[in-house]
Amino acid sequence: MTDLLIRALPLSEFETRIPELNEVLIGCVADGASVSFMHPLSVEKATKFWQNVARSVANSERVVLVAEDEHQQIVGTVQLITDQPENQPHRADVAKLLVHPRARRRGIAQRLMQQLEIVAQNAGKTVLVLDTATGSDAEIFYRHLGWQRVGELPKYALMPDGAFCATTFYFKHL
């Protein structure tokens, strides 16, 4: 996707872009992604989630990257949670890598993760951590990008349909 723009979503735009972020999140949950929400995910619940994320951005606790297509529509997003305990200033968490189902298989997730690593390095972070549903395509994706598997927790979360899901934890040194 050559006309793709990856950038940090500024707080000044956040509120007006929530409908697009909702569309991505709701689409991913409807498609079966285990990203903390159950299906069906209401617009109200998704909006509340993004409003909380915006507050975290305002408090300099995280950075939200978005991928915009050639029509300036958000088709993907990922978060870097930089607010960590005092003894872990070098670490950040990766959260909610989401690409709308209609925009998948175009390299969007990879470009989001590459930009996320640059943002993390610029913030002085040298260790990134994340978790994902065990056995998911995301596991293959993260290993392809050089992430190291730490371990698995059975029955850690629920899939959007209510079935138990194991979670695998990963890290990457920058």
- 3-state SS, residue 20: helix
| pLDDT tens by residue, 111-142 | 999 999 999 999 999 999 999 999 999 999 99
Average pLDDT, the chain: 97
Alpha-carbon distance of 17 to 144, in angstroms, equals 31
What are the tens digits of pLDDT across the range 42-61?
Answer: 999 999 999 999 999 999 99
pLDDT at 147 over 70: yes
Query: Measured between alpha carbons, how far is 21 from 25 in angstroms, rounded to an integer?
Result: 6
Q: What 3-state DSSP class applies to 173?
A: strand
Bond before 40 cis per omega within 30 degrees: yes
| Chain center to CA of 150 | 19
Phi, psi of 163 (to 5 degrees): -75, 145
- DSSP-assigned letters across all residues of 48-64: HHHHHHHHHHHTTSEEE
Tell me what pLDDT residue 43 has.
Answer: 98
